[in-house]
Structure 1
Amino acid sequence: MFSVLVTGSNGQVGSEIKELSPDYPYKFFFTDKKELDITKLQDIEKFIVQNDIDAIINCAAYTAVDRAESEKERADEINHLAVQNLAKLSKEFSIKLIHISTDYVFDGTNHKPYTEKDATNPQNIYAKSKLDGEHAMIKANPHNSIIIRTSWVYSYYGVNFVKTMLRLGKEKGSLNVIFDQVGTPTYAKDLARTILEILPKIENEKVEVYNYTNEGVLSWYDFAKEIMKMAKLTCKINPIETAEYPTAAKRPHYSLLSKSKIKSTFGVTIPYWKDGLDDCLRRLGERR
């Protein structure tokens, strides 16, 4: 049976893959850093050999964007060097590798959706570590392997914007949310399903990069407004500019990603962002 290693399986995307896994004819190995430290090359090699791994879905990542500014080495270790390890061994053992990256590799100055060919220009430590991971994977060049860039990920699992808004929406009468950062949310369940659907179809000589988010375009302010509306919370959302909410790490103002490549290559149908949000709120028992 086709054996799939899922790293970072307790994160948002990894947890959704775990929930969807019974629907797919693969033998899954779900690991987090306790079961498999992907910063250690020998540990990964031993795991691959012992379990006869055919594909790796790397959901492991250092995602604390602001904290990365003061934890540069840790971010680099997980987002760059660990990816280098996975790519090197995937090449050596002819393993398919799917690695998840981020819209933050772009600087956010575009006025049209970013394609996979657009120039990257990371604006913070987290983004640079993710791009370094991409470059390491492309250099190692394991066959039949891809990088998926995504954005604004949320899920039934873990800590994320949707859950934070629900909590604060019940505690407060009003909230200030940024309106001048524009992009698209990604429901981790939709991304997880797409990864599992395209896995057997991936065939390429060189590492290919694809974009994936839900369909649509909105700001964080719009997103928060819709969360309150769907959950029937009375909390008022006030639009503010990024300058009014300073953070340690600089974020892109515009990070809309073009999905035409993944749709045309794999025949992927991508749900609208409100449909993903609706499903997530229903699972959380918050849809009113």
Structure 2
Amino acid sequence: MEKILITGSTGMLGRYVCQFAMEAGLNIFTPKRDQFDISNSSLMESYIDNLQPTAILHLAAETNVDLCERDPRHAGLYNHIATETIARKARQYNAWMLYISTSNVFGAEGKPYYNELDIPHSVNYYGRSKFHGENALRTWCGRNSMVIRAGWMIGGGVQHDHKFVGKIVQQVRDGVSDIRSVTDKYGTITNALKLARFIVRSLEERRLGTYHYTSSGLVNRFEIAREIAEVLSFKGTVSPVVSAEFPLSAPRPSFEGIESIYLPNEDSEWKPRYWREDLREYLKEFSDRD
């Protein structure tokens, strides 16, 4: 019988993945932090030895970009060493392994878009640590693994969205008069719910290789905020500002858009669309509440 280990099952993406995996009748295992702490290699090894999984979906990570910049050792431990530990064990039990990476592995070249054939070169420690995690996976189980690079993740809904979209929605609900958002940082968005469907389908098919999974179209934060304001009938103003007005610990690339050269020809319910369509589809979770 299949035994599928899912790390990071309580995160935004993890909740969606668990939902669809259970709907598909898959036999999943979602350890709690005291059973599977990605900062504790021996604990992870012990759990995997006891379970002997047939597949591992590694969704857990340190995604706080500024924390990673302030503490590179922390970034390396959580995003690189943890992934290497899990990948070694996946190889030991011949388990197929999926790793979720990020568009942040790119950006140093200043190109608007990067595809799967581009060589990653990040401008911050978060992106570098995630790329080292990718390499660890390829080293230990490259012939039995899959990497998915996601863009700016949107999802979680009313209760669990604490990222950019959720924060803008909250400002609208709080009745602020002016929403300020930056115009000089561009990327591509990833609808977490659709990505979760793709992950479960990839698990069932045992898909191999590296894939970029994002909506099409380059977008900045200001355009996203303006779209949210329109969908939710915001009565105030959305003001464009530059990122220098919001100083952060970690440098961000001017462009970190990613696109896939492998997925466009596929036709499925999980296939991404243009960013505005995918964003508006997600925002129904908020507008339907009103």
TM-score, normalised to structure 2's length? 0.89
Identity of aligned residues (%): 27
Alignment-derived partner of residue 212 in structure 1:
213
Letter in 1 for 2:25: P
Distance 2:114 2:63 in 1: 21
The aligned counterpart of 1:248 is 249
Which residue of the partner structure matches residue 20 of structure 1? 20
User: Contact conserved, 1:186 with 1:213, CA < 8 A, in 2?
Assistant: yes
1:75 to partner: Cα distance: 1.7
Query: What SS does structure 2 have at the residue aligned with 1:100?
Result: strand
How many equivalent residue pairs? 285
Q: Do the aligned partners of residues 108 and 236 (structure 1) sit closer, same or farther apart at CA in structure 2, a change above 3 Å counting?
A: farther
Aligned mates of 1:227, 1:287 — CA distance in 2: 15
Choose 136-145 or 114-123, whichever is displaced more: 136-145
Q: 1:140 to 1:85 in 2, by over 3 A?
A: same
What does residue 154 of structure 1 align with? 154
Aligned to 1:102: 102
User: In the alignment, is residue 57 of structure 1 matched against residue 61 of structure 2?
Assistant: no
- 1:199 Cα shift? 1.3
Summarize the Cα distance change of 1:169–1:66 in structure 2 as closer, same or farther, 3 Å threshold.
same
- Which 4+ stretches in 1 moved above 6 angstroms? 265-268
The TM-score normalised by the length of structure 1 is: 0.90
Distance change (3 Å), C-alpha of 1:162 and 1:54: same
Corresponding residue SS for 2:144: coil
RMSD value, Cα: 2.2
Assess, with a 3 A threshold, how the Cα gap between structure 1 residues 154 and 35 changes in structure 2: closer, same or farther: farther
- Aligned twin of 1:235: 236
Amino acid at match of 1:19: Q
1:222-261 Cα deviation digits (max 9, x unpaired) = 1011111111222311112223332211111112211222
Decide whether the 8 Å contact of 1:88 with 1:142 is kept in 2.
no
| CA shift for structure 1 position 32 | 4.3
Q: Is 2:138–2:145's contact at 8 Å kept on the other side of the alignment?
A: no
Tell me, in whole angstroms, the C-alpha distance in 1 between the residues paired with 2:235 and 2:283.
16
CA distance in 1, matches of 2:281, 2:35: 31
Equivalent residue, structure 2, for 1:272: 274
Give unmatched runs, 5+ long, in structure 1: none
| 1:182 corresponds to | 186
SS across alignment from 1:141: helix
- The equivalent of 1:170 in structure 2 is 173
Separation (CA, whole Å) in 2 of partners of 1:286 and 1:237: 22
Q: Is the 8 A contact 2:102 2:151 kept in 1?
A: yes
Q: Within 5 Å, which residues of 2 pair with 1:112-123?
A: 112-123=112-123
Shift of 1:97: 0.7
Question: Structure 2 vs 1, CA of residues 162 and 203 (structure 1 numbering), >3 Å: closer, same or farther?
Answer: closer
Q: After TM superposition, give the deviation of residue 264 of structure 1 in Å.
A: 4.9
- Matched-pair contact (CA < 8 Å) for 1:201–1:266: no
Counterpart CA distance in 2 for 1:19 and 1:224 is 29
